[in-house]
């Protein structure tokens, strides 16, 4: 039995707690919050035996094996470093950090302490997405040359909310652009050339953006992200032998279709129970049991490279955050 702690009591922490309940080899042992009342409420609602009124107290619990960090973006680095210093393995919510410098510090500390660390890019572990990637790797599309990907939704405007406030790491890139950038990285690696444009809104964050990336062998990715505009949240991959569509919403897809150059389209349906967060937890526990310090599906060097790509994109926009 692997014993989990959750650092945060927000929406995504609640979703992760729900997912852990479906795993017989996982025990949600403790939760940490900055306030006693929210820790106690979370513990009651999710049947968590131990509730702490500080993050430090959670990290100090000697019975917790691994901690899931679901705090706002600007706190990821600080919280991860604190948990690693306390000797805990860590699954840190995406985006992994605010920038590559923070990500490097987190990775360095995990390696120094010989502790497991992974970015919680849960999409890679969703069964339909994982099956689609296996088929691509087996040559189902031939050579893949192009990707189009969009994660665009319209959020209620809230200048002080996490999506629009610069001090909370607001904007479309860190919140949802990371999904399409991570997917392109998974396929093509590190980009050689980046051209991007964004609309910077009144609060000073990117409200929508377009990113064009060129990779080592000439592969191309056309990616969009938005928190003020809605369009289909899907990914299309084009190869020499056909194209694959990860149907909306691609980040937790249960269906994908392969359309060959010749022949009829074939749709694969890969349903799952629950909210989907359990699959990344399963990967963490698999790695811990195998004695691995990082996941081969979401390796730390790739996480760092994705952060470097996002830094380069923001530099083209002239966008920095107050806490950098």
| Number of structural domains found in the chain | 2
Last residue of a domain, one of 253, 271, 289: 271
pLDDT bucket at 15, cuts 50 / 70 / 90: very high
Tell whether 309 is covered by a domain: no
Q: 87 with 197, same domain? A: no
What single-letter DSSP state applies at residue 272? -
CA–CA gap between residue 309 and residue 276 (Å, rounded): 27
Helix (H) or strand (E) holding 175: none
What single-letter DSSP state applies at residue 294? S
Q: 134 with 255, same domain? A: yes
CA–CA gap between residue 64 and residue 51 (Å, rounded): 12
Q: What is the mean pLDDT of residues 146-158?
A: 97
Q: What is the mean pLDDT of residues 214-227?
A: 98
Whether residue 33 has pLDDT greater than 90: yes
Annotated catalytic residue, options 21, 27, 88, 94? 94
> Could you tell me the two tokens for 304?
């760092």
Q: Please confirm, yes or no, whether 252 is among the known catalytic residues.
A: no
Q: What is the mean pLDDT of the chain?
A: 97
Q: 116 with 182, same domain? A: no
pLDDT bucket at 172, cuts 50 / 70 / 90: very high
CATH number, domain of 163, equals 3.30.360.10
Distances (CA, A) of 318 to 152, 177, 178, 321, 324: 22, 17, 18, 10, 13
Q: What is the mean pLDDT of residues 157-181?
A: 97
DSSP E strands in the chain: the ranges are 2-7, 26-32, 50-52, 66-69, 89-93, 117-120, 144-152, 193-200, 206-214, 220-226, 235-239, 242-246, 255-260, 266-269
The predicted pLDDT at position 51 comes to 98
pLDDT bucket at 323, cuts 50 / 70 / 90: confident
Percentage of residues of the chain with pLDDT beyond 90: 99
The predicted pLDDT at position 145 comes to 98
Answer yes or no: are the C-beta atoms of 319 and 310 closer than 8 Å.
no
Domain assignment of residue 49, given as a range: 2-122
Q: What is the mean pLDDT of residues 289-297?
A: 98
pLDDT bucket at 87, cuts 50 / 70 / 90: very high
Q: What is the mean pLDDT of residues 115-139?
A: 98
> Could you tell me the two tokens for 29?
């042992």
Q: pTM above 0.95?
A: yes
């Amino acid at each position: 039995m692997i014993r989990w702690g959750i650092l945060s009591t927000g929406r995504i922490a609640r979703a992760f707690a729900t997912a852990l309940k479906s795993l017989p080899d996982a025990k949600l042992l403790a939760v940490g919050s900055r306030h006693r009342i929210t820790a106690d409420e979370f513990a009651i609602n999710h049947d968590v035996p131990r509730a702490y009124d500080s993050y430090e107290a959670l990290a100090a619990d000697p019975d917790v094996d691994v901690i899931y960090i679901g705090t706002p973006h600007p706190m990821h680095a600080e919280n991860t470093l604190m948990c690693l210093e306390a000797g805990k393995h860590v699954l840190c919510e995406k985006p992994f950090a605010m920038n590559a410098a923070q990500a490097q510090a987190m990775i360095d500390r995990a390696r120094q302490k010989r502790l497991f660390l992974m970015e919680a890019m849960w999409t890679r572990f969703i069964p339909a997405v994982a099956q689609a990637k296996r088929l691509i790797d087996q040559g189902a599309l031939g050579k893949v040359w192009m990707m189009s990907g969009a994660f665009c939704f319209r959020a209620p405007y809230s200048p002080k909310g996490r999506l629009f406030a610069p001090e909370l790491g607001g904007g479309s890139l860190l919140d949802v652009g990371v999904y399409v950038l991570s997917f392109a990285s998974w396929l093509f690696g590190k980009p050689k050339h980046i051209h991007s444009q964004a609309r910077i809104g009144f609060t000073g964050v990117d409200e929508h953006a377009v990113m064009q990336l060129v990779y080592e062998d000439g592969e191309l990715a056309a990616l969009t992200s938005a928190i003020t505009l809605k369009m289909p949240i899907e990914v299309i991959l084009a190869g020499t032998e056909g194209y694959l569509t990860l149907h909306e919403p691609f980040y937790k897809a249960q269906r994908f279709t392969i359309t060959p150059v010749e022949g009829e389209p074939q749709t694969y349906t890969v349903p799952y129970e629950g909210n989907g967060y359990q699959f990344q937890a399963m990967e963490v526990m698999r790695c811990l049991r195998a004695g691995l310090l990082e996941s081969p599906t979401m390796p730390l060097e790739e996480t760092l490279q994705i952060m470097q790509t996002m830094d380069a994109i923001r530099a083209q926009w002239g966008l920095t955050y107050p806490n950098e």
